Amino acid sequence: MVKKILEMEVPLVYVAGGVAVVVLAVGAGGYSDYAVRADFAKAKQDFASSTMQFESTITDMSTKLADAETENTTLHERLHDEVDRNNEYGQKVESLVSTVAMLDKLSKTDRELLQKYSNVYFLSENFVPASLTNIDSQYTLNKNVTLEIHAQIKTQLERLLHNATADNAPLLVLSAYRSFGTQANLKTSYKITYGAGTANSFSADQGYSEHQLGSTVDFTTPQGGESLAAFDKSSGFTWLQQHAHEYGFILSYPKGNKYFTYEPWHWRYVGVELATKLHADGKYFYDLDQREINTYLVKIFD
Ligand SMILES: [Zn+2]
């Protein structure tokens, strides 16, 4: 029986084994297909979700990049604005510096130098030029008397005198700076010699003379003996009319002026710029408005 069973068992084992193989095979085959499908579906799902995440990350980053670009543009614009503002401040500072320099220059320049003084305008008896210096005696008529001139005008005056002589129109200085006191004494002596009426016609009272400024001179020729009135016939006077402005000098009281008697010998320093403008326009100092004249003060010694 055992043998029978054993005998039978063999094919049974085989059968059982065969069935198992088939079942396994079928089972295995079925499982693997399902698993692959499931894996695929999961992978697909995973991929889809990853893709979604990735896409959202990209969207996120794009938004951030756009924001960053906008911010960058804004910063760039702000930088530009700052640079512009900086330039503007720079220009303002520059103009302030030049204004300060101009004010400093003005504070050191006597306003009186460009004020009108004649029988209409009065100069304080206390006014004394900032600095006076001697005119080289080779340029003065009377070698025994020392003549003084405003220190910042000396060079221009001596250049004028040197060049006039070089141009065959020799000129010398007869009178220059006169203090308030000197002018008073001079006027008194003129009144004694000529009488008050005559003296008033050619000599200003103290305080009304441009000579007190230290910037005004009376020219004469080396002959000197000729009357002052004849000076306007001299080559020196003709030369002055053509060239004095180049050295900053003007004829204060021309023929026919309504301020003072005609004085062809009497020349006042007002600076090259103003003198040149007056010469070009054919105008006289006393005809200009004082406000316009004042704008030239800062450049008077340039
Ligand atoms: Zn004079």
Annotate the chain with three-state secondary structure: CHHHHHHHHHHHHHHHHHHHHHHHHHHHHHHHHHHHHHHHHHHHHHHHHHHHHHHHHHHHHHHHHHHHHHHHHHHHHHHHHHHHHHHHHHHHHHHHHHHHHHHHHHHCCCHHHHCCCCCCCCCCCCCCCCCEEECCHHHECCCCCCCEEECCCHHHHHHHHHHHHHCCCCCEEEECCCCHHHHHHHHHHHHHHHCHHHHHHHCCCCCCCHHHHCCEEEEECCCCCCCHHHHHHCHHHHHHHHHHHHHCEEECCCCCCCCCCCCCCEEEECCHHHHHHHHHHCCCHHHCCHHHHHCCHHHCCC
Final residue before a domain boundary, out of 108, 137, 162: 108
* Spacing, Cα 232 to ligand 1 middle (Å): 14
Look up residue 126 and give its amino acid: N
* Spacing, Cα 187 to ligand 1 middle (Å): 12
- Are both 256 and 288 inside the same structural domain? yes
Q: Which residues contact 272 (CB under 8 A, 6 or more apart)?
A: 156, 245, 246, 247, 248, 302
Look up residue 157 and give its amino acid: L
Q: 210 near 164, Cβ under 8 Å?
A: no
CATH code for position 153: 3.30.1380.10
CA distance 238 to 266: 14
pLDDT at residue 118, rounded to an integer: 61
Average pLDDT (282-300) is: 92
Would you place residue 115 in the very low, low, confident or very high pLDDT band (cuts 50, 70, 90)?
A: confident
- Are both 73 and 154 inside the same structural domain? no
- Are both 44 and 82 inside the same structural domain? yes
* Spacing, Cα 254 to ligand 1 middle (Å): 12
* Spacing, Cα 217 to ligand 1 middle (Å): 6
- Are both 41 and 79 inside the same structural domain? yes
Please check the confidence at residue 219 and state whether its pLDDT lies above 90: yes
* Spacing, Cα 279 to ligand 1 middle (Å): 20
| Structure-token pair, residue 100 | 């300060």
* Spacing, Cα 229 to ligand 1 middle (Å): 12
Final residue before a domain boundary, out of 108, 129, 157: 108
- Are both 104 and 129 inside the same structural domain? no
Please check the confidence at residue 93 and state whether its pLDDT lies above 80: yes
Average pLDDT (53-62) is: 86
- Are both 167 and 274 inside the same structural domain? yes
- Are both 39 and 101 inside the same structural domain? yes
pLDDT at residue 122, rounded to an integer: 67
pLDDT at residue 2, rounded to an integer: 43
CA distance 149 to 176: 6
Distance of CA 78 to the CA centre of its chain: 28
- Are both 123 and 205 inside the same structural domain? yes
Final residue before a domain boundary, out of 108, 132, 149: 108
Share the mean pLDDT of the chain: 83
- Are both 89 and 191 inside the same structural domain? no
Considering 104-108, 126-130, 159-163, the range whose residues carry the highest mean pLDDT is 159-163
* Spacing, Cα 127 to ligand 1 middle (Å): 17
- 3-state DSSP assignment of residue 11: helix
- Are both 161 and 288 inside the same structural domain? yes
**What's the domain range around 62?**
1-108
* Spacing, Cα 259 to ligand 1 middle (Å): 14
Q: Higher model confidence: residue 267 or residue 45?
A: 267
Average pLDDT (80-104) is: 86
- Are both 234 and 293 inside the same structural domain? yes
Structural domains of the chain, count = 2
- Are both 50 and 175 inside the same structural domain? no
